[in-house]
A = this chain, B = another copy of it.
């Protein structure tokens, strides 16, 4: 978002003064309610009118901050990706297992799990949405990549294994369960996925 009149030219250098608290408040309140509605109704179910009703912020004010409905939604979507800190346990297998559990739980609890199909859908037709989805996707795939990289540094990874496919092998089955077959993930399933991933990725040394 570009807020005109915020950056001020002064003495030859642009300084950013304190943001007007009214602007600050409007932006956070509107984005927060947009996010809630997004989770509840999906990408196509969010209207500016409804956001205005729920947030108590006038529709005209919303349009003063975001030029169009889509831009507001994209802004709200950007807050979905939360990059978590990663520290390896020292074992690829352990890292994968814990990551599988981690993702599996977030798939059942977190809000974005409900929204994502609508984002995928919109991304099939609107390039802007596809771009945001791609950014989010890279965050999540990046977490898997971190695990693989750490293991590669330790020499755990099979040289023949294609690292770029790891994310698909790890996340694919989980996503499948959540959105396609709609079955809950039990520990036995997680275990089988972990075994499948490790047999493909880990070097057959010791």
**Which A residues fall within an 8 A CB radius of B?**
41-45, 114, 117-118, 120-121, 123-125, 130, 134, 137, 141, 161-162, 165, 167-169, 171-177, 179-182, 188-189, 192-193, 195-197, 199-200
Contacts and interface: CB of A to CB of B under 8 A. Distances in A.
A132 to B, nearest CB: 13
Contacts of A134: 182
A121 B117 contact: yes
A180 B137 contact: yes
Given A141-B181, A176-B172, A189-B168, A125 B41 contact: yes
A177 B173 contact: no
Tallying the copies of this chain within the complex gives: 2
Contacts of A165: 173, 188-189, 192-193
A169 B192 contact: yes
A30 to B, nearest CB: 23
A41 B188 CA distance: 39
A25 to B, nearest CB: 31
Given A42-B125, A175-B176, A192 B200 contact: yes
A179 B169 CA distance: 14
Query: Which 3 residue pairs are nearest across A and B when measured between Cβ atoms?
Result: A172-B172, A172-B176, A172-B173
A112 to B, nearest CB: 12
12 contacts: A42-B124, A44-B121, A117-B121, A120-B180, A137-B181, A137-B182, A141-B181, A162-B188, A168-B177, A169-B173, A195-B200, A196-B196
A120 B114 CA distance: 10
